[in-house]
């Protein structure tokens, strides 16, 4: 087996303020092979966006990466200098953000703000850079790219903006695209179009993708492998097929039961609570002791609040962290 | 053609504003007293004949409304009349004294803008640090200090104690006789410009830093970082551009009101500018000067708001002139 393109080990991100300490990402592992799509799933606030920003080393202050390793194409990103890291951003690893309405600079034309990126990374002149931008706008299905170059973000529809954002991520042929809920803020019909676009691009360009979403329906259509997160920790990682056919972790099972049909767009009203299990994500300042899911877990036993389950392989390519599925665990201080 | 119509409409508004403002001021000044009588009272050897002649010359024997209409008619022909106390054409006085005012006000605004951009950028990037706190406290303190106090402090320290800079005037009497030299003019400008710059910088920095902090939180800044653009370019090309938009209004006010705020500085530094002239003219009821300067102040305000609106349109594509 060749080494994966991205190999994240025990990544931890901490927000330390004088009064409190929060770990929205706590010892997270996942890996993405070349040309592979990993779906990163979890409720709102489970640390998906923080994990993606962590990969780019762009965790907003006062947050910072406090531990772990980010292997990318054989090098540890956490060991790179800031200029080396900056040279990699947008060129080798690019990101599509959650809300297209806010992720384009309102004052610059599309041609200008996308052209600036290519020009910078590839040392191109303005005309060449804009030609490249026009090519990519065409590739993401935008009609009449030449005219779009001179338009400002507010002149585009939401779906069009997200296409522009996807084009921006693809400008320098990255090896890995981080797509953070690329469809959450779009109309249902547009969501389907954007997902189709992402899938066809991935096949044509052979780019690996981290697809962040809280929508099981989306990962069902897109992902090769799936990592389920809860309150900053990984519950389960497996092939998409395994996750849907034979999920092991109680949280994965609950997530799947909360989606009536895998191909239906997730109902936004369900973002906060899972109807099947009830309750909500714990307050991250004081996460529950032991397994963080135990206050909501239908299978919880007394021991669940006394030990922290560790991600443990249960089958080739299948990792689970639940003591009732045989995972290893460490005792927590009382 | 939208822009031409917009400008035309603003200019029409300016005419209405100037007529309105000038009428109010004219009748107020008129109600206070008679400038020639005041002049006569201050000069014991004025004869009755000369007083009567002056009264006729300035049409002070005519009813007020007729004098106002006459003044307005002359203004329409760009004739501002002549000063009663200085016996000079008002237009010429406005140009000469106005130059002295602009000489300290414009550099103070531009200098402040540059300083504010520099300070606010550094402070906002180290938000919450001791440096940020220090900058903000100084700016807040500076903004709340009475304007003349700062001027008096500057004079005390740099003119009286250290004796580096002159405490009053725009030129030394000596160099005035030898035709003022450039260096002498600049030397006199230092303290008044410093005082104005200090205040403008304080306010602009507070505004700009708040906007920068806000803008730096936006997704498009994170997206620019995630695209690998260098920090310098993100700050100056993306963040600052967005952060400066709300500041344009304040810059417009600074430019528009610089004549109206001039009296404080020019009194503290005995500076021969329009602010100084205005105060004098009011004391002497020299209504041609008062009126002429009021017209210029109103026109400046209109021009400044017009320029502000055009700047908004040029910088922000989401804004259109209606
Ligand atoms: N400034 C901050 N101070 C403290 N904690 C923070 C801060 N910013 C984020 N967090 C933590 O990060 C968590 C949010 O993580 P993240 O944004 O990655 O969630 P997400 O899974 O992407 O959710 P969503 O679906 O809403 O996008 C919050 O639960 C919070 O605890
Ligand atoms: S460890 Fe316990 S609480 Fe956690 S998921 Fe497994 S059974 Fe539920
Ligand atoms: Mg998120």
The hierarchical CATH code for the domain A6-92+175-261+274-283 is 3.40.50.300
Whether B87 is covered by a domain: the verdict is no
Residue ranges of chain A that CATH labels 3.40.50.300: 6-92+175-261+274-283
| Domain residue limits at B109 | 95-315
| Alpha carbon nearest to ligand 2 atom 1, residue | A322
Say yes or no: B63 and B198 in one domain.
no
Give me the helices (H) in chain B, please.
2-32, 35-42, 48-57, 64-76, 90-125, 130-144, 147-154, 173-177, 182-216, 219-226, 231-233, 240-256, 262-268, 274-284, 287-315
Neighbours of A3 (CB within 10 A): 12
Domain boundary among B76, B104, B126: B76
Counting the structural domains of chain B, the total is 2
| Alpha carbon nearest to ligand 2 atom 5, residue | A322
Q: List all residues of chain B from 229 to 258 with a beta carbon under 8 Å from chain A.
A: 229-230, 233, 237-238, 241-242
Q: Residue A269 — very low, low, confident or very high, per pLDDT cuts 50/70/90?
A: very low
Say yes or no: B44 and B142 in one domain.
no
Percent over 90 (pLDDT), chain B:
33
Among A53, A106, A122, which would you mutate to test the B interface (most chain B Cβ atoms within 10 Å of its Cβ)? A106
Q: Which of A49, A70, A25, A51 is nearest to A292 (CA)?
A: A25
Domain boundary among B76, B104, B119: B76
Per-residue pLDDT at A2 exceeds 90 = no
Q: Residue B277 — very low, low, confident or very high, per pLDDT cuts 50/70/90?
A: very high
Whether B53 is covered by a domain: the verdict is yes
Say yes or no: B61 and B166 in one domain.
no
The residue-averaged pLDDT of A292-318 equals 90
The residue-averaged pLDDT of B313-321 equals 85
Q: Is the peptide bond before B145 cis (omega within 30 degrees of 0)?
A: no
Instruction: Give, in order, the Cα–Cα distances in Å from B251 to each of B113, B196, B248, B311.
Output: 9, 14, 5, 11
Whether B86 is covered by a domain: the verdict is no
Domain boundary among B19, B42, B76: B76
The pair of three-digit structure tokens given for residue A199, joined into one six-digit string: 């899938």
Whether B142 is covered by a domain: the verdict is yes
Q: Residue B271 — very low, low, confident or very high, per pLDDT cuts 50/70/90?
A: confident
Nearest chain A residue (CA) to B229: A117
The residue ranking higher by pLDDT, B43 or A120, is: A120
Q: Does ligand 2 lie within 6 Å of residue A300's CB atom?
A: yes
pLDDT of residue B176: 56
DSSP-derived secondary structure for A211-257: EEES-HHHHHHH-SEEEEEETTEEEEEEEHHHHHHS--SHHHHHHHH
Q: Residue B148 — very low, low, confident or very high, per pLDDT cuts 50/70/90?
A: confident
Residue B228 touches chain A, beta carbons under 8 Å: yes
Whether B140 is covered by a domain: the verdict is yes
Per-residue pLDDT at B94 exceeds 60 = yes
Whole-angstrom distance, CA of residue B220 vs CA of residue A61: 16
Residues B111-131 have pLDDT tens digits of: 999 999 999 999 988 887 888
Whether B321 is covered by a domain: the verdict is no
Which ligand has its closest atom nearest to the C-alpha of A62?
1
Q: Residue A262 — very low, low, confident or very high, per pLDDT cuts 50/70/90?
A: very low
Whether B90 is covered by a domain: the verdict is no
Whole-angstrom distance, CA of residue B292 vs CA of residue B95: 11
Mean pLDDT of chain A: 87
The residue ranking higher by pLDDT, B272 or A273, is: B272
Say yes or no: B227 and B167 in one domain.
yes
Residues A44-58 have pLDDT tens digits of: 889 999 999 999 999
pLDDT of residue A141: 87
pLDDT of residue A334: 58
Residue with tokens 């303290």: B191
Residue numbers in A near B316 (CB within 8 A): 106-107
Mean pLDDT of chain B: 87
The residue-averaged pLDDT of B217-243 equals 93
Say yes or no: B11 and B129 in one domain.
no
Q: Residue A265 — very low, low, confident or very high, per pLDDT cuts 50/70/90?
A: very low
Say yes or no: B163 and B272 in one domain.
yes
Say yes or no: B128 and B70 in one domain.
no
Nearest chain A residue (CA) to B239: A105
B79 CA to centre of ligand 3 in angstroms: 67
Per-residue pLDDT at A287 exceeds 90 = no
Q: Residue B180 — very low, low, confident or very high, per pLDDT cuts 50/70/90?
A: low
pLDDT of residue A263: 43
Among A92, A107, A168, which would you mutate to test the B interface (most chain B Cβ atoms within 10 Å of its Cβ)? A107
Q: Which of A22, A95, A211 to mutate to test the pocket of ligand 1 (most atoms within 8 A of CB)?
A: A22
**What's the CATH code of the domain at B173?**
1.10.3720.10
pLDDT of residue A1: 53
Sign of the Cα torsion A18, A24, A27, A32 reads: negative
Residue A324 touches chain B, beta carbons under 8 Å: no
Say yes or no: B151 and B180 in one domain.
yes
pLDDT of residue B141: 86
Residue A90 touches chain B, beta carbons under 8 Å: yes
Could you give the ipTM of this predicted complex? 0.88
Neighbours of B308 (CB within 10 A): 18
Per-residue pLDDT at B1 exceeds 90 = no
Task: Determine which of A34-48, A69-83, B181-195 has the lowest per-residue pLDDT on average.
Answer: B181-195
Say yes or no: B268 and B241 in one domain.
yes
How far does the CA of residue A115 sit from the closest CA of chain B (Å)?
Answer: 11
Say yes or no: B21 and B108 in one domain.
no
Residue numbers in B near A180 (CB within 8 A): none
Residues B295-308 have pLDDT tens digits of: 999 989 989 999 99
The residues, ordered by sequence, that sit 6+ positions from A125 with a Cβ below 8 Å of its Cβ are A119
Neighbours of A196 (CB within 10 A): 13
Atom of ligand 1 nearest to the CA of A51: 18
pLDDT of residue A270: 43
Whether B84 is covered by a domain: the verdict is no
User: CA angle, B120 as apex, B117 and B126 as ends, to 5°?
Assistant: 140
Atom of ligand 1 nearest to the CA of A214: 25
Question: Where does ligand 1 bind, in terms of residues with CB under 6 Å?
Answer: A 15, 22, 24, 42, 44-50, 214, 284
A22 CA to centre of ligand 1 in angstroms: 9
Say yes or no: B151 and B51 in one domain.
no
Q: Which of B102, B95, B39 is nearest to B287 (CA)?
A: B39
Residue with tokens 């996942």: A30
Residue A80 touches chain B, beta carbons under 8 Å: no
Highest mean pLDDT among A326-330, B155-159, B275-279: B275-279
pLDDT of residue A271: 43
pLDDT of residue B261: 84
Per-residue pLDDT at B175 exceeds 70 = no
């Amino acid at each position: 087996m060749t080494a994966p393109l991205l190999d994240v080990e025990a990544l931890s991100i901490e927000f330390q303020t004088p009064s409190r300490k929060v770990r929205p990402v706590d010892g997270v592992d996942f890996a993405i092979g070349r040309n592979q799509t990993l779906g990163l799933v979890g409720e709102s606030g489970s640390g998906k966006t923080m994990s993606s920003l962590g990969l780019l080393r762009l965790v907003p202050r006062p947050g910072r990466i406090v531990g772990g390793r980010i292997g990318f194409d054989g090098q540890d990103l956490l060991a790179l200098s800031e200029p080396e890291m900056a040279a990699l951003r947008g060129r080798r690893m690019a990101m599509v953000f959650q809300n297209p309405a806010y992720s384009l600079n309102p004052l610059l034309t599309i041609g200008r703000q996308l052209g600036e990126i290519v020009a910078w990374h590839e040392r191109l002149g303005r005309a060449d850079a804009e030609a490249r931008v026009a090519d990519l706008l065409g590739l993401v299905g935008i009609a009449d790219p030449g005219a779009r170059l001179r338009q400002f973000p507010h002149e585009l529809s939401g779906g069009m903006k997200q296409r522009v954002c996807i084009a921006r991520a693809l400008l320098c042929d990255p090896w890995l695209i981080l797509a953070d809920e690329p469809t959450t803020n779009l109309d249902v019909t547009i969501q389907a179009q954007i997902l189709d676009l992402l899938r066809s691009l991935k096949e044509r360009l052979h780019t690996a993708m981290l697809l962040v979403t809280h929508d099981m329906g989306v990962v069902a259509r897109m992902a090769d492998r799936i990592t389920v997160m809860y309150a900053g920790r990984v519950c389960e990682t497996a092939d998409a097929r395994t996750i849907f056919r034979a999920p092991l972790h109680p949280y994965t099972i609950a997530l799947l039961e909360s989606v009536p049909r895998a191909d239906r767009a997730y109902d936004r009203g369900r973002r906060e609570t899972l109807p099947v299990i009830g309750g909500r994500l714990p307050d991250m300042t004081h996460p529950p002791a032991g397994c963080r899911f135990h206050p909501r877990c239908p299978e919880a036993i007394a021991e669940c609040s006394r030990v922290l389950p560790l991600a443990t392989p249960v089958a080739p390519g299948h990792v689970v962290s639940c003591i009732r599925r045989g995972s290893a665990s460490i005792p927590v201080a009382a | 053609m939208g822009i031409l119509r917009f400008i035309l409409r603003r200019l029409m508004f300016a005419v209405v504003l100037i007529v309105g403002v000038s009428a109010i001021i004219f009748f107020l000044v008129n109600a206070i007293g008679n400038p020639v009588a005041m002049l006569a009272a201050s000069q014991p050897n004025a004869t009755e004949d000369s007083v009567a002649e002056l009264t006729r010359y300035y049409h002070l024997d005519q009813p007020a409304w007729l004098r106002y209409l006459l003044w307005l008619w002359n203004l329409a022909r760009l004739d501002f009349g002549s000063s009663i106390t200085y016996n000079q054409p008002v237009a010429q006085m406005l140009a000469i004294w106005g130059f002295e005012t602009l000489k300290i006000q414009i550099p103070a605004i531009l200098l402040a803008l540059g300083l504010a951009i520099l300070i606010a950028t550094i402070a906002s990037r180290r938000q919450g640090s001791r440096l940020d706190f220090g900058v903000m406290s100084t700016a807040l303190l500076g903004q709340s200090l009475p304007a003349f106090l700062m001027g008096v402090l500057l004079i005390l320290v740099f003119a009286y104690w250290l004796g580096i800079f002159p405490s009053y005037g725009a030129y030394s009497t000596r160099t005035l006789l030898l035709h003022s030299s450039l260096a002498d003019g600049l030397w006199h400008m230092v303290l008044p410009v410093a005082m104005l710059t200090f205040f403008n910088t304080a306010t602009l920095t507070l505004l700009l830093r708040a906007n920068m902090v806000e803008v730096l939180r936006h997704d498009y800044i994170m997206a620019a970082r995630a695209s690998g653009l260098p920090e310098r370019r993100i700050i100056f090309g993306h963040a600052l551009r967005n952060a400066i938009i709300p500041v344009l209004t304040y810059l417009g006010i600074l430019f528009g009101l610089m004549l109206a705020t001039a009296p404080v500085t020019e009194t503290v530094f005995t500076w021969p500018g329009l602010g100084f002239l205005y105060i004098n003219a009011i004391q002497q009821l020299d209504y041609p000067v008062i009126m002429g300067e009021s017209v210029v102040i109103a026109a400046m305000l209109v021009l400044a708001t017009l320029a502000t609106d055009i700047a908004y349109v040029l910088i922000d594509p989401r804004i259109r002139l209606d």
